[in-house]
Structure formats: C-alpha cells, structure tokens
Structure 1
C-alpha cells in the first residue's frame, strides 16, 4: 500500500501531455509502414480496393493503440501482427523520421502552458522518447526552461515504460520518495509505469483518438483520476494534495 506522504513534486510524460505530437507520430508511422505491408493473395474481382482500405484502417488502429510505447517495441509488435519484414536500416530510418517529425512539428497541448503556471510544484519530464526528441520539442514550444535539468528518457535510464525505471529516475533526481510525486500520463504503458513506481497518477485523454475508451483503459491501468481538459489539471493536483 502506498505510504501517505505530502505531494511535493510533479512528473509529466512528454508526448500527449506536454506536446501534441502523438498525432504526428501516428501519421508518420502509418505513412511509412503502409507501403511495406505484405501483399495479400490475389483478391476476388472487385474486392482489391476494399481490402486495401481495410488493411490501412487496421494498421492505423494498431499504431494508435500503441502510441506511448517505446518506438522500437511498437515496431516489434507491429512486425509480429502484420508480418512485416523490416530490416535494421529500415527500422532505424523510420525511428529517425518519426523523431524528427515530432521534434519539428509538435505543438503544445492546448492549455498546458497555463496549467503549468498555476501548479507550484517542481517538475520533471519522464518519457519513452529519446532525449534529443524531448528537448527539441520542448525548446520549440517554449517549455524547455521549466524542465531543464529534469528531463528523463527511458533510452538513458534502463527499461522503457511500462517498467517504472524512468519515473523512478525522476523521483531520484528530486531526491524524494516516489510517493511524494504525482505523475500525469496519457498512455496505458505510462500510467502502469507511474503506478508501479509508487506515484499518484493522473491520466490525460485530451489528445486521444477515442477519449471515452482511453479513459476506461487508463483507469484500469491505475490512474486515480482521468481528465480531458488542461483547465482541470491544477484543480486535480490540489485535490490530491489536500486529500492525502
């Protein structure tokens, strides 16, 4: 059972919480992988276009359901599901293309800058993305100064989410017990990681493709509260602080 302690620190996921970059990752991954889908056997007359549309939709949904995962693990799972035969150079190219697009095109999640101004807690970033991508996006969107020196990437600390390593690293960086931290994450893997680390967890669904379904999944993964508008964020932090 989590030890009741004052909440003193905030740990944020990056993609989907601070930066609206997951829609970019979804678009780029779908664009890069769709031409590589193995060909189906010759379809019945008139069925080809319909089959292609169904396969494209299935790939799109499979990627969307895995957003927030470590990109290499996401690609491994897609390889298994769709029988891709990706070479190491292809994987590296796709990984780089996604990272560059997210770093160069990401926008702030609506309302997050104002929410962070209203939350008076020291803060860190804990993400499955690599440090270059995180820092590039935060600099581009004007948030880097708030998190400088407190940016933790799973690429640097050990196992990716859903393992708790990156969240534990953030707490260790503060020098506090994880139970004194509140984490906010938008993915099932991230919520599981924060919960396993022993943090209080808020789930965010504001940029999810299906907010209702994602809210259910995040609660099942361990989120104490789920919200879809950054205007709610400071209030939820206050509730956790006073209801400890």
Structure 2
C-alpha cells in the first residue's frame, strides 16, 4: 500500500465542491430530455409508469454528473434511445452551461472553509474554462483560483482520466502525492485516485448523500464527508500526516 505523504497543495473540483451547480445541471438536463423519452404503450392509462420512467431518467443523469456534458448526453441518449441529434446536444449543452454560470451559488460553507485553509489551491474540472471562470466570479471565489484553473477540455483526456489533476499538480511543480483533491463525483474521484493524490469525497450537495458516500468510497476516496465545516480539520490532519 502506498505511503501517504503530508499534503502541501489543495486541488478542488468546481461543480458540486465550490459551486452548488450540480442540482442546476441535473434539473436542466432532466427537463430537456424528459420530453424525448419514447412513449410507453398504454402510458395514458398508467401514468405511474411514466413517472417511474421519469425517475429512472433522473437517476441516470444524476449518476453521471461530473462527466463531460457531451459524454453524459451520449450515454443517456444510448440508454434511453432518445434519438438526440448533434444540434440538439449542442443546444442542451449550451443551456446547461448558461444556467450553471448564471444561477450557481457557493456550496454552503465553502467560503468559510477556504478562509481557514492556508494551502495554495487550484481548480481541476471537466467543465470548460469560461464556465468555470463565470461561476467562480459570480460567487466571489475567482481571485482565490485565478491563474490556477484547469479544464478537462484543455488536456488529452478528461476525468475519469487523471490528466486534469496531473496538470494542476504540474502547474504547482509538485508531486501529485503532495496534493489533496476534493471531488463530489465518482468520475472525479477516480481521476484523482489515478493521479496518485489523497482524495476527499464530498457529498454535501448530492441528491442522495448516503448512496453517494458509498459510491465515492468504492471509487477510491480515502475519506468522505458531507459538511464543509469538517473540511479544514480534514486538511489540517493531512498537513501533519506522518
């Protein structure tokens, strides 16, 4: 088992860690895709079946949050036979990005947590850089990460590949093992684990915290927490790790 090193740098996912935008993306995607579900026979006589199908679609989207939006749309399109065309995917992608950049709020407690954590910090996200920057500026967090924003769109492979986390560590000029990553998705946790970082899984804005905690641990998160009030203490323990 790899020996953990004391951490010196913090790398944060954006959506669901810094910005409370996952629920916004989920709502927009569900609203846009629900009308495209193929009709079930006798659905008018059994509306509960359509409600069940709607919930299955909702869960399928929720379980893929953290992926590239285009990849998420492709997978959901295939699973539910939606028949999405390229123009529709582009429009939905743009709608999600606009909603997240205009409506996102800071994750509860993140502002105070970051004030208490003195480590150099960066963002590593699968979102594109303009969306990340717009959301951070809206929420007053941009100055803390300016010049240290890394997008999965700018590396060879997005999460769950480790590239974007490795790029953030390289930007600091430090060993990835000296970095602690915080992510809220299975996709992101797998990426940070593959990068060789200490990984904190955050469930505070998940629609099902208990289920997500289990999934993040299974993905390799070393610790999982749900309240940002815990964040500074977890970082403090890692700083003094021996």
Same fold (TM over 0.5): yes
Q: TM-score, normalised by structure 2?
A: 0.97
**Residue in 2 aligned with 1:27?**
27
Change (3 A) 1:192 1:45: closer
Q: Secondary structure at the match of 2:67?
A: coil
SS in 2 for 1:81: helix
Q: How far apart in 2 are the matches of 1:93 and 1:45? A: 30
8 Å Cα contact 1:3/1:179 also seen in 2: no
Deviation at 1:5, TM superposition (A): 3.3
Could you say if the C-alpha distance between residues 45 and 197 of structure 1 is closer, same or farther in structure 2, counting changes exceeding 3 Å? closer
Q: Which residues in structure 2 correspond to 1:53-202 (within 5 Å)?
A: 53-202=51-200
Per-residue Cα deviation, 1:82-105 (whole angstroms, up to 9, x for no partner):
011111100000000000000000
Residues matched between the structures, number: 242
Q: Is 1:235 paired with 2:229? A: no
Whether the 8 Å CA contact 2:43–2:50 is kept in 1: the answer is no
CA 1:174/1:52 → structure 2, altered by over 3 Å: closer, same or farther?
Answer: same
Alpha-carbon separation, structure 1, partners of 2:44 and 2:64: 34
Residue ranges of structure 1 left out of the alignment (5+ in a row): none
Q: Secondary structure at the match of 2:55?
A: helix
In structure 1, how many angstroms separate the alpha carbons of the residues matched to 2:4 and 2:43? 63
Equivalent residue number for residue 10 of structure 2:
10
Q: Does the aligned pair in 2 maintain the 1:2–1:179 contact within 8 Å? A: no
Q: 1:19, CA displacement in angstroms?
A: 0.3
For structure 2, which runs of at least 5 residues remain unmatched after alignment? none
Per-residue deviation at 1:18? 0.3
Distance 1:56 1:45, change over 3 A: closer
What are the superposed Cα offsets for residues 29-70 of structure 1, whole Å, 9 maximum, x if unpaired? 0010011112223x17721x2222111111111111111111
2:213 is equivalent to residue 215 of structure 1: yes
TM-score, scaled relative to structure 1: 0.96
